[in-house]
Amino acid sequence: MGGIVLAMHQVKIFDTTLRDGEQSPGCSMNLSEKIVMARQLEKLGVDIIEAGFAIASPMDFKSIQAIASAAPNCTIASLARCNTKDIDAAWDAVKDAKKPRIHVFLATSDVHMQFKLRMTREQVLSTITEMVAYAKAKCDDIEFSAEDASRSDREFLAQAFSNAIAAGATTINVPDTVGYSTPQEMSELIAYLKEHVTGIDGADISVHCHNDLGMGVANSLACVKAGATQVECTVNGIGERAGNASLEEIVMAIRTRKDFYDAETNINTHEIYKSSRLLSNITGVPIAPTKPIVGANAFAHEAGIHQHGMITNAQTYEIMNPDEIGVPHRALVLGKHSGKHAIRERLESMGYEIPDEELEDIFVRFKKLADQKKTITSSDLEALTLHRSRIVRPEEGTASTCQLISHSITSGSDIPKISYVKLRKDNAVMEGVEYGAGPLDAAFKAVNKMLGVDARLEDFSVRAVTEGEDSIGEAVVKISSVATGEIYTGSGISTDIVEASLQAYISGINKMFEAE
């Protein structure tokens, strides 16, 4: 007789990159970028996309509605505090989604109730009952989060969740809001709630762990082992303060150690690498080389003894195959005589589905790059694809984009730093020349003067994103509007780092125009 095979429990992936992740300083996204990211999250296979906080701003509301249309195969959630205005806004934002969810929250720890809410325990319990029921009257799928659950009195927390489920909540979320807890404590908390929450068998148990002490992923996985059926996380672990639990690390830990966790997810792991790179490109936040799963060094082996083992048998030092997460092969594949069909074929083999109009944009820039490099690698092609124009293109009805036509600089240790810049905006061509402390300072001043903008450079970085002496450089700038104080991130790529820097600056200016 064959042995008994135990069924693995399904863990839903609740992605909050577009809500909690975007709250990370410097990680804000415009509407078109959020739509691009939402479509990629759908391809990645996340179960729920938390698209925003509808009451927060008109742009958040509009983004949630747009994401609901862009990713119809995912449940689309909007966050809401436990009050009728928030819940009404959340429902209005998600009601046209194929699978809508309202996500309501209220703090349950003594410190939050006393100093933030200024409410008694009895008031909190009655508010949970009333507001979850109010949301349930609008939407079948209701999630209730007990903010600061990990620091809440367990008996009171169990009662709060019991009230939420009785009022109609289908998911109860247990956040470690300030990243204070430990894996053992979180595991014990889930076990306690499973035993003491009335109606828990009819609801999903979710966890949302922050990474302030570096234990967001470990805490989340401990909860999965204890029986949690939903994990809230973000791509690359972005989020407030030290960030959230990292989606890619949680998913690959469950996949690689399914013998231990007895769990599985719906994630298409071949889309992990692409999702990570796309988010990094949109936000301008680089991925650390040592970042687990998606860092540049994650599958690199430099020590001689490791290399020998890898040659003999990859399993000696590699517990995952880079193909599993969609890392593209770096072979030299294309040259200046390659046609559009060859580029489309290569992109499709790398997992990119590009509409005709965007392929045309990539092809034009490919030809320009091919004049500068003898051969184009998959890394080069991926960089061109991630920087395609749709990521920074303003929505219809907003200001038109500005484009860099050409530039020239004069620089040296004993001569003036002068930059000449030629731009196109609104079908008009303009030219400017400025002096500066350096060639980029002069170039950015020329752009500001020509466009009549008052922008201040807040941060600037440049790095190689492909291999070799003729590698592509990626420049990332953060600029602020002097008038509003808002921060905008722009990025650009080129084998010429001055050109890449100008592209990045103009990309940030375009986002400023769009916001206005």
Q: Which two tokens stand for residue 401?
A: 């984009």
Same domain, 335 and 279: no
Q: Is residue 132 part of a domain?
A: yes
Q: How many helices (H) and strands (E) does the chain have?
A: 17, 18
Could you give phi then psi for residue 431, rounded to 5 degrees?
-130, 150
Provide the angle, in degrees to the nearest 10, between the axes of the packed helices 84-94 and 121-136. Answer: 30
Same domain, 347 and 442: no
Same domain, 503 and 381: no
Local structure of 473: helix, strand or coil? strand
Distance of CA 387 to the CA centre of its chain: 16
Nearest to 55 by CA among 114, 105, 5, 113: 105
Q: What's the longest Cα–Cα distance across the chain?
A: 86
The per-residue b/e assignment along 288-321, b for 16 or more CB within 10 angstroms, e otherwise, is eeebebbeeebbebeeeeeeebeeeeeeeeeeee
Q: Is residue 312 part of a domain?
A: no
Q: Is residue 303 part of a domain?
A: no
Determine the Cα–Cα distance for residues 39 and 393; give it in Å rounded to an integer.
16
Same domain, 276 and 346: no
Same domain, 58 and 182: yes
DSSP conformation class of 390: G
- Looking at 390, 416, 437, the residue that finishes a domain is 390
Q: Is residue 289 part of a domain?
A: no
Determine the Cα–Cα distance for residues 396 and 399; give it in Å rounded to an integer.
8
Same domain, 353 and 433: no
Residue with tokens 């990094």: 280
Distances from the Cα of 188 to the Cα of 142, 184, 192, angstroms: 25, 6, 6
With a cut of 70, list the residues of the chain below it in pLDDT.
Answer: 1-7, 300-318, 329-333, 388-400
Q: Is residue 314 part of a domain?
A: no
List the alpha helices (DSSP H) in 300-355: 304-312, 340-349
The per-residue b/e assignment along 71-104, b for 16 or more CB within 10 angstroms, e otherwise, is beebbbbbbbbbeeebbbbbbbbbeebebbbbbb
Same domain, 238 and 178: yes
User: Residue 355, Cβ neighbours under 10 Å: how many?
Assistant: 10
Determine the Cα–Cα distance for residues 181 and 204; give it in Å rounded to an integer.
21
Number of domains the chain contains: 3
Determine the Cα–Cα distance for residues 502 and 441; give it in Å rounded to an integer.
10
Return the pLDDT at 160: 98
Determine the Cα–Cα distance for residues 476 and 461; give it in Å rounded to an integer.
5
Same domain, 98 and 226: yes
Same domain, 269 and 351: no
Return the pLDDT at 182: 98
Q: Is residue 308 part of a domain?
A: no
Local structure of 176: helix, strand or coil? strand
Determine the Cα–Cα distance for residues 329 and 318; give it in Å rounded to an integer.
17
Exposed / middle / buried, residue 410 (Cβ in 10 Å: 0-12, 13-18, 19+): middle
- Looking at 345, 360, 390, the residue that finishes a domain is 390
The model's pLDDT over 337-386, given as tens digits with 9 standing for 90+, comes to 888 888 888 888 787 888 888 888 888 888 888 888 777 878 888 888 88
Distances from the Cα of 74 to the Cα of 29, 71, 226, 247, angstroms: 20, 6, 26, 16
Residue-by-residue DSSP string for 36-75: HHHHHHHHHT-SEEEEE-GGG-HHHHHHHHHHHHH-TTSE
Same domain, 458 and 377: no
Sign of CA dihedral 219, 221, 225, 227: positive
Same domain, 38 and 13: yes
What is the pTM (predicted TM-score) of this model? 0.87
Residues 6 or more apart from 259 whose CB is under 8 A from it? none
Return the pLDDT at 336: 76
CATH (domain of 93): 3.20.20.70
Q: Which two tokens stand for residue 474?
A: 């990626």
Determine the Cα–Cα distance for residues 475 and 117; give it in Å rounded to an integer.
44
- Looking at 346, 361, 390, the residue that finishes a domain is 390
Residues 6 or more apart from 375 whose CB is under 8 A from it? 332, 333, 334, 335
Determine the Cα–Cα distance for residues 70 and 77; give it in Å rounded to an integer.
14
Q: Is residue 227 part of a domain?
A: yes
Same domain, 101 and 134: yes
Determine the Cα–Cα distance for residues 209 and 245; give it in Å rounded to an integer.
6
How do 376-377 and 332-334 pair as beta strands? antiparallel
Residue range(s) defining the domain that contains residue 350: 328-390
Sheet arrangement for strand 428-436: 402-410, 417-425, 428-436
CATH (domain of 455): 3.30.160.270
Q: Is residue 50 part of a domain?
A: yes
Return the pLDDT at 381: 85
